[in-house]
Amino acid sequence: MAEFIAYLIAGIATGAIYALAAIGFTLVWQTSQTINFAQGEFVMLPAVLILLAVKLLGLPLWAGGLLGIAVFLLIFGAGFKLVVVDPMIKHGVLPLAIATMALSIVMKEGAKDGFSAEAQSFPSLVPTDMINLLGVSISLQHLAIIVVAFAAIGLLQWFVGGTRLGRQMQATAQNPTVARILGIPVERMVLLTFLLNAALAVVASLLISPIYLAKFSNGETIGLFAFIAAIVGGFNQVRGALVGGLLIGVADSLAAAYVSSQYRLAVPLVLLVAIILIKPEGLMGRKEERRV
């Protein structure tokens, strides 16, 4: 039982990270019809940039961290929208999706060539000790991840629901045409979601890299699980992405422990197929209008 709870907590911790990535993914999907296939690489890169800043410029960790994050937000928040999404969205959803695939390759191979083909350790912000809680040994890191990720999601929820700016963003996501009529600066709101997405990716990156190390190929699994989380949760909602992320994280963790470590990846995939077959609109999703 103690073992089970430990795996459960580990699963919730990684699940919270998938949720961060999945929320960013649904945000940009909602506001700008962008299916970002580079989402996993978005989570991989900030840690790599930070280590790069430390290594190349000889900066202390905090300064390298700030610089790396700033560069990332600039290029993959604002730059991504202005350079990739804006010129391409007029061609339709599909070319844009493919463009993000190309971007994911550039990011991944770029990190491999420009940084390192090997996994590099990334400093943890909290002690890596284990604590014993009622007979269950729990990693402090996992607890910290859960706290930080939930705080970030809580903050986002408050921003979206509780502030004027957030509500404007929400309105833009739901119906850009109406939002424009209401005088909401739609373009700026879309840009805001891209920045938010990049910021969420930064948080996820800082949380996951101390555990999984900073490596160019990290984005593959994270991206895949983020997509699955978004679909399982219902593609269109922050809450759905959260539920989906946690579910995937826990399923993955338990599968690794009790099913087969070789096929742990397969369990979330099976979950995806099951959801598509049984409840295609996702656990928390609403049925969409049929068009075709």
- Residues of this chain that interact with other proteins (CB under 8 A) are 35, 37, 84, 87-88, 91, 93-95, 97-99, 101-106, 108-110, 112-113, 220, 224, 227-228, 231, 262-263, 265-266, 269, 272-273, 276-277, 280, 288-292
Q: Which of 141, 153, 108 is nearest to 16 (CA)?
A: 153
Q: How far apart are CA 87 and CA 81, in angstroms?
A: 9
Q: Which is nearer to other proteins, 28 or 224 (CB)?
A: 224
Minimum CB separation from other proteins for residue 21, in Å? 14
Q: Which is nearer to other proteins, 95 or 154 (CB)?
A: 95
Q: Which is nearer to other proteins, 125 or 270 (CB)?
A: 270
Q: Which is nearer to other proteins, 185 or 280 (CB)?
A: 280
Minimum CB separation from other proteins for residue 91, in Å? 5
Q: Which is nearer to other proteins, 3 or 113 (CB)?
A: 113
Minimum CB separation from other proteins for residue 164, in Å? 22
Q: How far apart are CA 47 and CA 7, in angstroms?
A: 25
Q: Amino acid identity, residue 285?
A: G
Task: For residue 131, list its beta bridge partners.
Answer: 138
Minimum CB separation from other proteins for residue 214, in Å? 17
Q: Which is nearer to other proteins, 93 or 136 (CB)?
A: 93
Q: How far apart are CA 133 and CA 211, in angstroms?
A: 21
Minimum CB separation from other proteins for residue 106, in Å? 5
The DSSP string of 147-164 is HHHHHHHHHHHHHHHHSH
Minimum CB separation from other proteins for residue 2, in Å? 30
Minimum CB separation from other proteins for residue 282, in Å? 10
Q: How far apart are CA 211 and CA 19, in angstroms?
A: 17
**Contact status, residue 244 vs residue 232, Cβ threshold 8 Å:** yes
Minimum CB separation from other proteins for residue 223, in Å? 9
Distances (CA, A) of 185 to 94, 145, 191: 26, 35, 10
Q: Which of 230, 258, 226, 222 is nearest to 8 (CA)?
A: 258
Q: Which is nearer to other proteins, 88 or 211 (CB)?
A: 88
List, in order, residues 6 or more apart from 200 with CB less than 8 Å away. Answer: 20, 21, 23, 24, 152, 156
Q: How far apart are CA 31 and CA 170, in angstroms?
A: 9
Q: Which is nearer to other proteins, 134 or 181 (CB)?
A: 181
Give the max Cα distance, the chain: 59
Q: How far apart are CA 195 and CA 246, in angstroms?
A: 23
CA distance from start to end of the chain: 50
